[in-house]
Amino acid sequence: MFDWQDLHYFSVLARTGSLSAAARELGVDHATVGRRVAALEQSLSLRLVDRLPRRSPLTAEGSALAELAEEMARLSQAINRRARGLTESATATVRISAPPAVAARLIAPHVVEFHREHPDITLALAGASHNAALDRSEADVAVRMTRPTEQDLLIRRIGALHFALYATREQAALPPETLAFIAYDSTLDHLTQQVWLRAILAGRPIIFQASDLFGQQEAARAGLGAAALPCFMGDNDPMLVKLDVQEPPPVRDIWLTAYPDVSRSPAMRTVMTFLADIIGRECPIKAP
């Protein structure tokens, strides 16, 4: 009988494609990953991986087993989630994943009031630009800007991110045709707010690009130009004013998601209610 832990290491290697990537995810050195996979190969009397200098492609036998290993990994995570939902009391640490601006400007300022009301629950908040993989336990609950598509997830629309164009008062006083703009870099041209911003340029230049909203806000505060910001950031910034535009600004739905098994725990229900309340209040689905 093979070692289940060896199969787990192989599953991660199959998904990530290299020893180094698998080692980073597992929190071990690449030699440990290689040793575990070699032990599995010996137990099964099969060669599962071709060992190349920079990657570790699967053999035909490895590909066949990788699908089964991935399914077993999902089942293992499901068992962990079910056990947590059954055994957790109201005392727990709940890991939250949210977009960086939502985490820093919407959730974090309200953590103090949450702690006063629920001192036995510790919040572990991660601002992440990517969607946390709940099926791999990267978070317990996630706030997302796109509707989740994974199967079996509990999803709820809890708010809407309204955008507007913001600049300093000095910039706002300039003739509109002289206005310059701040935007994301071109790798994020697919974002709703970036598409809208490019639609209102009318030949006016983008003179600064930043990969996150914090950088764009700071550039706008410095008087560099106008930026498309969420209203919860722009409206609460005393150095910025909202500019009038003819093209209606975009709105993006905000979704709360978790696995049903995990959400049954008292601590999770408390945290999900907290998130839905503060985001719904700060970012109402209907425009204020």
Q: Is the pLDDT assigned to residue 3 strictly greater than 80?
A: yes
The 10s digit of each residue's pLDDT in 96-125 is: 999 999 999 999 999 999 999 999 999 999
Candidate from 78-82, 202-206, 235-239 with smallest mean pLDDT: 78-82
* 4-88: CATH class: mainly alpha
Amino acid at 66: A
CA distances from 50 to 24, 47, 205, 213, 222 (A): 20, 8, 50, 43, 54
The 10s digit of each residue's pLDDT in 264-276 is: 788 889 999 999 9
What pTM, to 2 d.p., does this model score?
A: 0.70
Q: Return phi, psi of residue 96, to 5°.
A: -115, 130
The pLDDT value recorded for residue 106 is: 94
Better-predicted residue by pLDDT, 222 or 138: 222
The residue with tokens 């930043």 is 210
The pLDDT value recorded for residue 87 is: 57
**pLDDT category, 81, cuts 50, 70, 90?**
low
The pLDDT value recorded for residue 210 is: 95
Better-predicted residue by pLDDT, 264 or 186: 186
**pLDDT category, 256, cuts 50, 70, 90?**
very high
What does the domain layout of the chain look like in residue ranges? 4-88
Alpha-carbon gap, residue 174 to 220, rounded angstroms: 14
**pLDDT category, 77, cuts 50, 70, 90?**
confident
Alpha-carbon gap, residue 60 to 48, rounded angstroms: 8
Rounded mean pLDDT, 229-233: 96
Q: Is the pLDDT assigned to residue 162 strictly greater than 60?
A: yes
Rounded mean pLDDT, 149-178: 93
Alpha-carbon gap, residue 164 to 246, rounded angstroms: 11
The pLDDT value recorded for residue 85 is: 61
User: Which two tokens mark 10?
Assistant: 């192989």
Rounded mean pLDDT, 156-184: 96
Rounded mean pLDDT, 204-232: 96
Amino acid at 253: D
User: Which two tokens mark 18?
Assistant: 């290299």
Q: What is the DSSP string of 176-243?
A: GGG--EEE--GGGTTSHHHHHHHHT-TTPPEEEE-SSHHHHHHHHHTTS-EEEEEHHHHTT-TT-EEE
